[in-house]
Amino acid sequence: MKTSPIPTFGALLALFLGLACQAADSGDIHERINNAISRGKVGAAVFASYDQGDVTVYGYGQTRPDQSREPDGDTLFEIGSITKVFTAILVQRLVEQGRLDWDEQISSYSKELPFENESVGAITLRSLATHSSGLPRLPDNFSLGDILDPYADYTRSDLNEFLRSFDPDSLSSEQVYSNLGFGLLGSIAADAARMDYPAAIEEYILAPLGMSRSFAAYPQQVDPNMASGYSDGAVMPAWTFDSLAGAGAIVSSANDLMRFIQANFAADAFGVHGAILATQQPQEGYDMALAWQMTADGEGNTVHWHNGGTGGYASFLAVNPAQSKGWLLLTASSDYAEVTNLGLSLLAQPPQAQTIDLAPYTGVFQLGPGFSLTFSERDGQLFGQATGQTAFPLTQQGEHVFEFAAARIRVTFATPVEGSSAGIEFVQAGQIINAPRVEDELGTTEREEIPLDSAVLNDYEGEYELAEGVAITVSVRESQLFIQVTGQQAFPAFAMDTDRFFLRVVDAEIEFLRDDGGYVHELILYQAGEHRARRLGARL
């Protein structure tokens, strides 16, 4: 019997190295951010740029759904994995003090751990900072206490237990993005500084640079000028961190991050500038520096950058040392791909603006049985959306040719005849698919949300077994339903009928099934097919 693959809710992630991106000027950035807000993909955003000492900051949207306050340079956002850059700089400062060594093994800094596998203990700090340690993205004892705050309950004892017992046949030196690796690096740095990670980041980087509004551990008092986390129409809670703080714990503002960007170009009395430059040196054998990703601008200058994302925030930061320029984008959004694509779009020189007639390209094209790609126009931008996946923006690169560089997608439309293109050549990562145009009914459908009493939502809470070792967890927080597949983050789901919901982050629906007594005992996930999941612990 042929089985369907287990679906994933993840958006396209722009974590590739050496991307060639479409160019954009700041005016285009403003328009695209406003378009994303009008489409409900972004709740609040701040774009800021640094150009040889000149700083500009722009705010968009509103900090919270119940407020009309526009975000500004002091508005706080979670910056997610941009934290990794700060972790590497912290380590470098401790290296300069003789407390750490990039090429020392982790066993030297964890003497109390009896590593079951000697090769794990031999992992170096440098390999952690280049994602080449062989450690997985997350540890296998990573359990979700709160699916909407996944890192909060992973303690130092959990981390030590994983390291002690981790026993792979071999450790690969290939680059594999690892939040675990940077969490470990941050813990080692904090130990060397003889304080916890938030205090170490404060003392060694934030305070010296005057980043007074930034922190790596949430204070007890909620800051009134912090943007609410946001994901496709739903407010998302903040993420908190324990032992893996070095991977993504920092909260910051545009004004503070402009001080950080300036420190890339000007010496300071504390030595932070020198530590930043040291982390930006290319690492032999890898197309990256220490934590920093690298690519070239339109003139061949090296640009150092990193993106970040938590449950309700997406961000991007880049510096161009050769031109003394930098820019950042902070958003309340879970659309990491579009935010990263937008940040990378400033790498090259802007092309001449031109008006494009997108009508010949809109419609549905069949990639395979039951799998199609729908193209639509939104505010002058062409978007593509594959069955069961999220929509992505495309930019014209030539006659009838469009790209989404962040995911290495290239679409070439057949020359339009009578105002319509009859087919496409779809290319991603070397795979080529020729797809004919089909009826619009076979494409992605538009859905409308309806209100549903919160008491009804409580009927659905629980775990549903999708496959062996894979479950869908359904939870409710503040009258919002959330769906999470094992190993993925939680996404909001919206009612389209009683017992029927849809996701905005991807083209997917969830139907809950009740028995004769009204008890929800099963669900069906509609995403590239039908996938049934029985409720675990369901009453008989």
pLDDT tens digit sequence for 296-348? 888 889 999 999 999 999 999 999 999 999 999 999 998 888 899 889 988 86
Task: Residue 484: count other Cβ atoms within 10 Å of its Cβ.
Answer: 20
- Residue 411 to residue 373: CA distance in whole angstroms: 11
pLDDT digits (tens, 9 = 90+) for 350-393: 444 456 899 999 999 999 887 889 999 877 789 898 876 777 88
Asked, for residue 189, whether it belongs to a domain, the answer is yes
> Residue 25: what pLDDT?
47
Residue 383 lies in a domain: yes
Report yes or no: 263 and 275 within 8 Å, Cβ to Cβ: no
Residue 184's φ and ψ, nearest 5 degrees, are -65, -45
Report the alpha-carbon distance of residue 72 to residue 62 in Å, rounded.
Answer: 10
Domain membership flag for residue 5: no
**Domain identity same for 369 and 432:** yes
pLDDT band at 238 (very low <50, low <70, confident <90, very high): very high
Predicted pLDDT of residue 220: 87
> Do 93 and 182 fall into the same domain?
yes
Sheet holding 44-51, edge to edge: 54-61, 44-51, 325-332, 314-320, 302-309, 293-296
State the pLDDT at residue 388.
Answer: 66
**pLDDT for residue 400 is more than 90:** yes
Residues 363 and 479 both lie in one domain: no
Q: Are residue 175 and residue 245 in the same domain, yes or no?
A: yes
Give me the pLDDT at residue 406, please.
64
Q: What is the pLDDT of residue 285?
A: 87
Same domain (yes/no): 98, 228: yes
Specify whether 225 is located in the same domain as 373: no
The Cα–Cα gap between 378 and 71 comes to 24
- CATH number, position 477: 2.40.128.50
- Kindly report which listed range (4-13, 43-52, 192-201, 282-291) carries the lowest average pLDDT score: 4-13
pLDDT (0 to 100) of residue 173 = 87
160 in a domain, yes or no?
Answer: yes
In a domain, 2, yes or no: no
| Residue 349 resides in a domain | no
Total domains, the chain: 3
Within this chain, do residues 200 and 72 fall inside the same structural domain, yes or no?
yes
Three-state SS across 24-35?
CCHHHHHHHHHH
Average of pLDDT values for 131-144? 89
* 131 and 54 co-located in one domain: yes
Q: Within this chain, do residues 272 and 156 fall inside the same structural domain, yes or no?
A: yes
- Give the residue among 218, 249, 206 at the shortest CA–CA distance from 226: 218
Q: What is the mean pLDDT of the chain?
A: 88
The verdict on residue 177 lying in a domain is yes
Which of 422, 442, 462 terminates a domain? The answer is 442
pLDDT band at 506 (very low <50, low <70, confident <90, very high): confident
Range of the domain at 323: 26-344
Residues 169 and 192 in one domain: yes
CA distance 160 to 461: 33
In a domain, 448, yes or no: no
Are 143 and 275 in a shared domain?
yes
Instruction: Specify whether 81 is located in the same domain as 106.
Output: yes
Boundary (domain end) residue, out of 294, 314, 344: 344
User: Are the C-beta atoms of residues 200 and 107 closer than 8 Å to each other?
Assistant: no
Q: Give the domain-ending residue among 287, 321, 344.
A: 344
pLDDT for position 362: 95
